[in-house]
Amino acid sequence: MLYAEIAIVAVLICVNGLLAMSELAIVSSRPARLRAMIDRDVKGAGRALALGSNPGKFLSSVQIGITLVGVLSGAFSGATLGERLSVFLASTG
């Protein structure tokens, strides 16, 4: 059961990282480069350009997701792994 709990926490951390990466990618993208990618028919470049030109709703959604995943991972790891870790630390002195 311990491995499943660690896996759940790891998945939540990865989801948090993906959300943070998507936020940073949209904020730091350069419109000129995205337009060049659209000219080369790069899939997703048009959507990225649209998100970059009006990022308000996207960034708000990403921030809500990051906050939610952070709260869930903290609550889950505190409730499941915290007790085991405290027992381990108490036994080591």
Every domain of the chain and the residues it spans: 2-92
Q: What is the pLDDT of residue 46?
A: 94
Q: What is the pLDDT of residue 70?
A: 95
d(CA 88, CA 28): 43
d(CA 40, CA 35): 9
Q: What is the pLDDT of residue 5?
A: 87
Task: Report residues of the chain scoring pLDDT below 50.
Answer: none
Q: What is the pLDDT of residue 32?
A: 95
29: tokens are 């993208």
pTM: 0.79
Q: What is the pLDDT of residue 79?
A: 84
